[in-house]
Structure 1
Amino acid sequence: MIGKLDPDTLGRVLEHTGASSPDLLTGAAYGEDAAAIDLGDGETLVVSSDPISLAADRAGTLGVYVACNDVAASGADPEFLTNVIFLPEENDATLATLTDQLDAAADDLGVTIVGGHTEYVPALDRPLLSLTAFGRTDRYVPTGGAQPGDKLLLTKGAAIEGTGILATDFAADAREAGIDDATLDRAAEFFEEISIQPEATHLRAAATAMHDPTEGGVVTGCVELAAASGVDLAVDSESIPIRPETEAICAAMGVDPLRIFGSGALLATVPPAAVDDALDSLADAGIEAAVIGEVQERAGEPGALVLDGERVTDAPTDQLYPLWEGDS
């Protein structure tokens, strides 16, 4: 088995959170991107941890961006990181590659790596990273804040990260499936767009909820946002932006672009009166975005993604996982 825990199993894990604190505004919960801690004087500390064990070609880069994305999606500016690196064996070249990637990505975001841990774990067959990001904000935006009537926006497009992974980790398979090198080169450059900090900065003043779709892509991201907010999200798949490179590579590899890693995009719910200004602000910054759906009162328990009229309450397993399993 590989991937996220199912909501019921995760719920049993999240029941055990240690001593409670009155300063905890949002704690561990299904679908929430990050914890929020009251620092006083109207300031909130946002904290999020994320692992990365696959996407071998750029694990250090993705690790930084993915951890910081959850903080940005909560309305904060990522400021500090801790990183834990587990290596399967002593390998100076691998360690140098990972640390160089971590350093460059953190520098790109203006984030300081303040500590962590590194050790060898022979039971592993590939490096495993876990990063924790910290940031402060005076307007925390939860995943669970969507309100009926809000419009659902998606920035950039579906499967930004997944497309980059397919174009690098599975480049040989994609070529064999008929994808040309020019398309693979363009798709690999999607890794340069994994950070969602720019769009989160533009949207956080208006958004009622923001969420970073990662494992399981746009479909899982919408399921999580709906569940956290206790609403239904009515989404038209035809309205979801999918880039030509994504469409071509996913078709060749037999995966659904709505159900593979979606880091690089941001889901945000925005009141109808603020939508035009939000889209204009993103366009002025050169960030693609589209309205892909609407928030509705939930028609059942729990909240759900209603995709093309079909009610989806279970987050799908990311369709890239079988490709890695077949490669191992």
Structure 2
Amino acid sequence: MSKLSPADLDRYIFSRTGAANEDLVVGPGYGEDAAAIATDEGTMVVSTDPISLAAERIGTLGVAIASNDVAACGGVPEWLVSTILLPEPDVDLIDDITAQLDDEASRLGISIVGGHTETVAGLARPLLSLTCMGPTDRYVPTSGAEPGDVVILTKGAGIEATAVLATDFRADLTERGVEPGTIDRATGFFDDISVLPEAAVLGSVATAMHDPTEGGVLNGLVELACASAVRLDVSRGDVPVRPETQTLCDAMAVDPLRVLGSGGMLASVPEAAAEQTLSALRAEGIDASIVATVDEPAEEDDIGVFTDGQRFTGGVRDDMYDLWD
């Protein structure tokens, strides 16, 4: 599994969007987390996301990921529509998933207002598709990073991946010598996957925000750079990785910068506002670090992410995918 290339997205997706509507402020675009629709009372942010690979906490993750995309655009997530597709009728499984959906939505103050549930022949595992909506007074795109900005990452790389590894692959980790206490602490990372708290701090100052998901922080940086048509210079050593994340990723032979990244928020801010922004995040108990500088590309070949002597411009395949094959 991997994302389509920017060229394929342009050709097959972004060029085929149905009827034009004058109320659409921001529509489909490479790297954009959500759409923006003008209403009589302001702007509505709308995003949709599927999830299928995290079996143990699929409902919890689904709510967090869908609402993160709205928050990453400066929105306040308020409403959720949930589609649940199952391999076969299973009341116990439905009970688990809907309980998780209810618990996480209640914790985040989001109302589940509709959806659909059915079984689908040939499906190997449960699949959720969640649409989240919420208002904003200031829409923040992925494409707004400007030369002279710096890019901040909250919490760290691979937060979501760490929690999923700790649950879906606990037996493998134990077999490979990871201490039970480390796995237990990593399981607790599920509580850190929502980025609503940092979005509330960053939304008023950020020129761009982005929720890194598949492909991890590296792919999130690529999407931000390409959407903004800028150059990002990144030093791997500047990207925070929690000890539990490093331990679990090492055990499973995956790169912390290339695994499911929800839980960390990427935001570009003017360099002059960087220290004040970091202080504001830390005052809310949110760890944050500067991980990249935003530069004007000298030419088109300068657009993208430059790190470890490499240039990245396309979708970065998530290392986690191979673990389910």
Instruction: Give the TM-score normalised by the residue count of structure 2.
Output: 0.97
Matching residue of 1:320: 320
Matching residue of 2:311: 311
Matching residue of 1:150: 149
Amino acid at match of 1:242: V
* Contact 2:212–2:219 (Cα < 8 Å) also in 1: yes
Q: Compute the displacement of 1:300 (Å).
A: 4.2
Q: Distance in 1 between matches of 2:298 and 2:312?
A: 12
User: Deviations 1:152-207 (Å, cap 9, x if unpaired)?
Assistant: 10000000000111111111111111111000000011011000000010011100
Q: Is 1:13 paired with 2:10? A: no
RMSD value, Cα: 1.0
Q: Distance in 2 between matches of 1:223 and 1:194?
A: 21
Amino acid at match of 1:318: D
Does the residue aligned with 1:114 lie in a helix, a strand or coil?
A: strand
User: Deviations 1:37-67 (Å, cap 9, x if unpaired)?
Assistant: 11145x1110000000110000000000000
Q: Distance in 2 between matches of 1:245 and 1:50?
A: 27
Q: Distance in 2 between matches of 1:10 and 1:275?
A: 33
Q: Compute the displacement of 1:253 (Å).
A: 0.9
* Contact 1:219–1:315 (Cα < 8 Å) also in 2: no
Q: Compute the displacement of 1:309 (Å).
A: 4.1
Matching residue of 2:139: 140
* Contact 2:3–2:315 (Cα < 8 Å) also in 1: no
Does the residue aligned with 1:151 lie in a helix, a strand or coil?
A: strand
User: Identical aligned pairs, as a percentage?
Assistant: 54
Q: Distance in 2 between matches of 1:88 and 1:4?
A: 24
Amino acid at match of 1:17: T
User: Deviations 1:231-271 (Å, cap 9, x if unpaired)?
Assistant: 11111110100000111111111000000000000000000
Q: Distance in 2 between matches of 1:305 and 1:196?
A: 23
Does the residue aligned with 2:219 lie in a helix, a strand or coil?
A: helix
* Unaligned runs of at least 5 residues, structure 1: none
Q: Distance in 1 between matches of 2:113 and 2:275?
A: 40
Q: Compute the displacement of 1:23 (Å).
A: 1.3
Matching residue of 2:263: 264
Amino acid at match of 1:311: R
Matching residue of 2:28: 28
Instruction: Give the TM-score normalised by the residue count of structure 1.
Output: 0.96
* Contact 2:156–2:239 (Cα < 8 Å) also in 1: yes
